[in-house]
A and B are shown apart, each in its own frame.
Chain A
Amino acid sequence: SQQGEEDPQALSIQEGENATMNCSYKTSINNLQWYRQNSGRGLVHLILIRSNEREKHSGRLRVTLDTSKKSSSLLITASRAADTASYFCATDEGNNRLAFGKGNQVVVIP
């Protein structure tokens, strides 16, 4: 079943700006992960945040997790044209799979 739901579903920004997208989910989780998918390619793992963590950084990426609100945000700072992609959140509910949202299309205009 689809668990995470990204918001906004489409985002268009200028190069150099920050891009923020949110993910909401419904049940308790062990961890939440963000993935990027370029057109016609598979998904690439970006970052994993565990349920006992509140914030995590990786390069230009910053992820927050609020388990009380069942939500997460992904911030991409100083965006580049190469960041143009779809971004998916995925939740580990403790069963044998990650539940993926429908994705968030980000377009970075050079």
Chain B
Amino acid sequence: GAGVSQSPSNKVTEKGKDVELRCDPISGHTALYWYRQSLGQGLEFLIYFQGNSAPDKSGLPSDRFSAERTGGSVSTLTIQRTQQEDSAVYLCASSWTGNSYGYTFGSGTRLTVV
């Protein structure tokens, strides 16, 4: 597609429920990133995928968070047993090969845990 697409754009969920956030990167971009942005804060790195290599999961805040990338394209970020502190905007970005090129970001998913 023309840009990075994320869905849903907004998600309200009850505490304790699981949520899935989807990211469809730019075709041909081998690198895919998930970041989290809390109100008035910078971006917190969550996870990085590069081609068929094992993902870098070092930014995931707890074992309730997981992500996968199928066929080197679409990625899903799953948060199990959501907590109120998980409320944030989850941003996905893709890039040609990594940090040597700029990232293209999606518009994000605003997650609210009530």
Minimal Cβ-Cβ distance residue in B for A44: B105
Taken together as a complex, chains A and B put the C-alpha atoms of A102 and B105 apart, in Å, by 17
Minimal Cβ-Cβ distance residue in B for A33: B102
Taken together as a complex, chains A and B put the C-alpha atoms of A101 and B44 apart, in Å, by 9
Which listed residue, A31, A42, A88, A99, touches B106 by the CB 8 Å rule? A42
Residues of B within 8 A of A48 (CB): 101-102
Taken together as a complex, chains A and B put the C-alpha atoms of A98 and B99 apart, in Å, by 7
Beta-carbon contacts under 8 Å, B44-80 to A:
44-45, 48, 50, 56, 59
Query: Is the CB–CB distance between A43 and B105 below 8 Å?
Result: yes
Residues of B within 8 A of A43 (CB): 43, 91, 93, 103, 105
Query: Is the CB–CB distance between B105 and A30 below 8 Å?
Result: no
Given contacts A42-B4, A97-B48, A97-B56, contact A92 B107 (CB under 8 A): no
Residues of B within 8 A of A103 (CB): 42
Beta-carbon contacts under 8 Å, A18-75 to B:
30-31, 33, 35, 40-45, 48
Residues of B within 8 A of A41 (CB): 107-108
Query: Is the CB–CB distance between B100 and A42 below 8 Å?
Result: no
Which listed residue, B41, B56, B105, touches A96 by the CB 8 Å rule? B56
Query: Is the CB–CB distance between B42 and A100 below 8 Å?
Result: yes
Residues of A within 8 A of B112 (CB): none
Q: B interface vs A, CB < 8 Å?
A: 4, 6, 33, 35, 40-45, 48, 50, 56, 59, 91, 93, 98-108
Known: A2-B42, A42-B105. 4 other contacts (CB 8 A): A43-B105, A88-B42, A90-B43, A102-B42
